[in-house]
Amino acid sequence: MAQVPEKQKSLAALKKEHGSKVIGEVTIDQLIGGARSVKCMLWETSNLDPEEGIRFRGLTIPECQAVLPTYSGIQGDGEPLLESILWLLLTSEVPTKEQVDSLTQDLYSRSKLPDHVVPLLKSLPKDMHPMTQFTIGLNACQTDSQFAKAYASGAPKTQYHEHVLEDVLGVIAKCPEIAATIYRNIYFDGKVEKDTSLDYSGNFCRMLGYDDKSFDELMRLYLCIHTDHEGGNASAHTTHLVGSTLSDPYLSYAGGLNALAGPLHGLANQEVLKWIQDLKAKFDAEGKEVNAQTITEFAWETLNAKKVIPGYGHAVLRKTDPRYTCQREFGLKHMPDDELFKVVDTIYQVMPGILKEHGKVANPYPNVDSHSGVLLWHYGFTQFQYYTVLFGVSRAVGALSQLYWDRALGLPLERPKSVTPEWLWAQAKK
Ligand code: NMX
Ligand code: MLT
């Protein structure tokens, strides 16, 4: 990567000339409250503004949709290819279609799973959660780690990022087959059919067992928008933290997947579908329509039972997530009359008001997970316990692009300071 020496120099100069500059302070609220807004991580690949949402290397989602190569090859004609966003995140440059096509081939050349992985996945109980299976599958691929081998044979620190890049691309290349094997094993006949004449997302759809051009487009959109959400989210942060110990990218991202599997993070996408199914079941049984009034009733039941409304709220965002908005636009274009799509829209009309009235939530608007499930459901992808695996295939691209830069920039072991309650009380009384 040609930019590495220049970026290394710039960071070294920043540290040398301005290292002691104070850029913030930390309150006791922030310390107890999950470090919200504490600026303490360097993240190259994306940035999240509370009002505007995500920018990937400076580009908003609509800007990415306008300039990144698509399957037809024409920018703006369809959704961006996952490979184009990978190129953008890794290099900060908008790729050409030729560059993207060469990256697709490069990923296919690295996609073979070690021989023990498919038999291992097939040996797992079918009722083991798909995310647990995903981390097992990815951990088992670690036998292919180039970085671990190079480190063991004494590679110098200055070359770490070159070996890490091999693994970053290796993990991203292998994730679709691990994920598809899990899906086909749990819900179908275990057979995975590839079509490597297609792009990464199209081939992934065939491996999952879907052959529908409109679903391919949804997968392209889905995989692009879930890639990165700056560094502080739990899956990206975990990947960065584990990687800072010089654990290789396979082990680091398996750590990230474990964080993604929590219901306050990526698992919320399955929880949203479950919430909607529970709502429908209740009102169908009572002979009532699902409408603004019954949704409001069900939302208050959830809140009064001290449970969260899945898919609403965010640790950073203070407006509707632009990832929600672009999925809504996809729905309006491809399935405007779909029953569940309309339910999600009605939820969107009433939920912010309910959450404002409830009075606790800092952000009463929907996040990415609020919309993704119903779009999948429309195409017959109804196994919602699996949805977070799709998020996991995508998040590899952002978290691991940054992991490459972590090593290229020589970032050290992450080791923040903890304090005791006694120390905090002593500070409070000063
Ligand atoms: N429903 C009910 N209560 C909520 C919700 C919600 N959707 N969101 C926040 N709250 C509560 C929260 O539990 C907290 O209560 P308490 O004081 O009793 O602990 C209070 O409101 C203040 O929390 P916030 O400061 O608004 O949110 P925080 O930054 O702590 O948490 C989330 C952010 C995303 C964890 C939270 O909004 C949530 O639990 N949302 C539902 C789960 C979800 O959709 N997660 C997916 C996030 C996106 N992703 O993909 O990761
Ligand atoms: C994410 O995409 O990681 C989520 O929106 C959570 C976050 O940013 O904290």
Give which of 120, 367, 100 is closest to 220, Cα–Cα: 100
233 lines ligand 2 (CB under 6 A): yes
The CA radius of gyration of the chain, in Å to the nearest whole number, is 22
Query: 114, 142 in Cβ contact below 8 A?
Result: no
Between the CA of 307 and the centroid of ligand 1 the distance, in Å, is 10
What token pair was written down for 26?
A: 């930390």
Between the CA of 363 and the centroid of ligand 2 the distance, in Å, is 13
Ligand 1 nearest atom to the CA of residue 234, by list position = 51
317 lines ligand 2 (CB under 6 A): no
Start-end of H helices in 188-310: 200-208, 213-225, 234-243, 249-260, 268-285, 292-304
For residues 19 and 6, give the distance between their C-alpha atoms in angstroms, rounded to a whole number. Answer: 18
| Beta-bridge partner residues of 107 | none
For residues 253 and 36, give the distance between their C-alpha atoms in angstroms, rounded to a whole number. Answer: 23
DSSP 314-368: -SS--S--HHHHHHHHHHHHH-TT-HHHHHHHHHHHHHHHHHHHH---S--SB-T
Which residues, including other chains, have CB under 8 Å from residue 244's CB and lie 6 or more apart?
406, 411, 412, 413, 414
Query: 63, 80 in Cβ contact below 8 A?
Result: no
Query: 312, 364 in Cβ contact below 8 A?
Result: yes
Which residue is listed with tokens 């959400």?
A: 229
How many contiguous H segments (helices) and E segments (strands) does the chain have?
Answer: 20, 2
Which residues, including other chains, have CB under 8 Å from residue 108's CB and lie 6 or more apart?
173, 196, 203
Q: In the prediction, which pLDDT does 74 show?
A: 83
Torsion of CA 140, 146, 148, 151, to 10 degrees: 180
Q: Tens-of-pLDDT digits for all 430 residues of the chain? A: 889 999 999 999 999 999 999 999 999 999 999 999 999 999 999 999 999 999 999 999 999 999 999 999 888 889 999 999 999 999 999 999 999 999 999 999 999 999 999 999 999 999 999 999 999 999 999 999 999 999 999 999 999 999 999 999 999 999 999 999 999 999 999 999 999 999 999 999 999 999 999 999 999 999 999 999 999 999 999 999 999 999 999 999 999 999 999 999 999 999 999 999 999 999 999 999 999 999 999 999 999 999 999 999 999 999 999 999 999 999 999 999 999 999 999 999 999 999 999 999 999 999 999 999 999 999 999 999 999 999 999 999 999 999 999 999 999 999 999 999 999 999 999 9
For residues 426 and 420, give the distance between their C-alpha atoms in angstroms, rounded to a whole number. Answer: 10
* Residue ranges lining ligand 1, Cβ < 6 Å: 264-266, 268, 303, 308-315, 360-363, 367-369
Threshold 0.95, pTM exceeds? yes
Between the CA of 313 and the centroid of ligand 1 the distance, in Å, is 5
Between the CA of 427 and the centroid of ligand 2 the distance, in Å, is 32
Burial of 125 (0-12, 13-18, 19+ CB in 10 A): exposed
Phi, psi of 225 (to 5 degrees): -75, -20
Burial of 123 (0-12, 13-18, 19+ CB in 10 A): exposed
Give which of 190, 156, 68, 107 is closest to 400, Cα–Cα: 107
Q: In the prediction, which pLDDT does 128 show?
A: 98
What token pair was written down for 255?
A: 């750590």
For residues 405 and 345, give the distance between their C-alpha atoms in angstroms, rounded to a whole number. Answer: 39
Which residues, including other chains, have CB under 8 Å from residue 52's CB and lie 6 or more apart?
60, 319, 322
If one residue of 38, 41, 240, 265 were mutated to test the ligand 2 pocket, choosing by the most ligand atoms within 8 A of its CB, it would be 265
Instruction: Mark 127-155 as b/e (b = at least 16 C-beta within 10 Å).
Output: eebbbebbbbbbbbbbebbbbbebbeeee
Query: 147, 134 in Cβ contact below 8 A?
Result: no
For residues 328 and 331, give the distance between their C-alpha atoms in angstroms, rounded to a whole number. Answer: 5
